[in-house]
Structure 1
Amino acid sequence: MPPRFEQQAPAGSAPVIQGYAAGGFRVSGQHYAGGVLVTPTRAIDWPVTTLDDLTADSFAPLGDEPVEVILLGTGATMRRPAKDVMEAFVARGLVVELMDSKAAARTYTMLAGEGRLVVAALLPL
């Protein structure tokens, strides 16, 4: 299993998604191969790399961190996760918006800049 990384953002600032490519994402100067969760306080190496990997427990690494909305970037194109997975998120009170990963990264940047409690859950392109 590859090493897992978590990077804390400096106090008072959200992590910045700086780029993306087929191999992963660059967040606040660190490369994340595969999937990544980006919250208002940290970036987390995320083992979810395809929609088939997505389960009801995929957002467990967020712990009790307050979240208004999760922007689920589904890769190079917007696709829908399995119906039962989406229903599990709704049952837990999670608001999950679907879009391709590039759009999710851009939307995260805009909303985080406004101080919103937003998470980008990004699958690789």
Structure 2
Amino acid sequence: MQLNEIDYENARPVEGYGPGFFRVDGKVIEGGVALLPNGAQPWSGDAAPFLAIADDIDVLFFGTGGEIANPPEDLIAALEGADIGVEIMSSPSACRTYNVLLSEGRRIAAALMPVLSQ
């Protein structure tokens, strides 16, 4: 069996996470994080960063923290109204899924709420 290193080209995968933070591109981001085609940034829970890039993404992985939860309906409606597919899952699952599809060159983004404890 041959193993290949994943080449993310210019994209930045999630390197790690812990109670209240995510690590992307060697930087720790406290709290929520928006993973966009042009990089990662702190995220306060609004749709604006994703609506601004709606033409550049097909799917948004919405990580709701340590457990699956229902995000605000108005937020999901705004994203879906901009023709962004939304997949809701726990943040650990969203990180893994995001990294795999990012390595495939897919047009994706992620909205991640922090895991509060491990």
TM-score range, shorter chain: 0.7 to 0.9
Q: What value does the CA root-mean-square deviation take over the aligned residues?
A: 1.8
Q: Is 1:74 aligned with 2:75?
A: no
Q: Per chain length, whose mean CA-contact separation is higher, i.e. which structure has more relative contact order (CA < 8 Å, sep 6+)?
A: 2
For normalisation by structure 2, the TM-score amounts to 0.81
Aligned residue identity for 1:44? Q
Q: Which residue of 2 aligns with 1:111?
A: 101
Counterpart among 48, 62, 69 of residue 60 in structure 1: 48
State percent identity of aligned pairs: 37
Aligned equivalents of 2:16, 2:78: Cα separation in 1:
30
Partner-residue secondary structure (3-state), 1:80:
coil
For normalisation by structure 1, the TM-score amounts to 0.76
Aligned equivalents of 2:73, 2:27: Cα separation in 1:
33
CA-to-partner distance for each residue in 1:60-104, whole Å, 9 max, x for gaps? 124236011000000000111233432332222221100000000
Check the 8 A contact 1:14/1:42 in 2, yes or no.
yes
Q: Which runs of 5+ in 2 are unaligned?
A: 1-8
Counterpart among 34, 39, 53 of residue 36 in structure 2: 39
Alignment map for 1:86-105 (pairs within 5 Å): 86-105=76-95
CA-to-partner distance for each residue in 1:46-68, whole Å, 9 max, x for gaps? 123xxxxxxxxx23124236011
Aligned residue identity for 1:86? I
Post-superposition offset of 1:16: 1.9
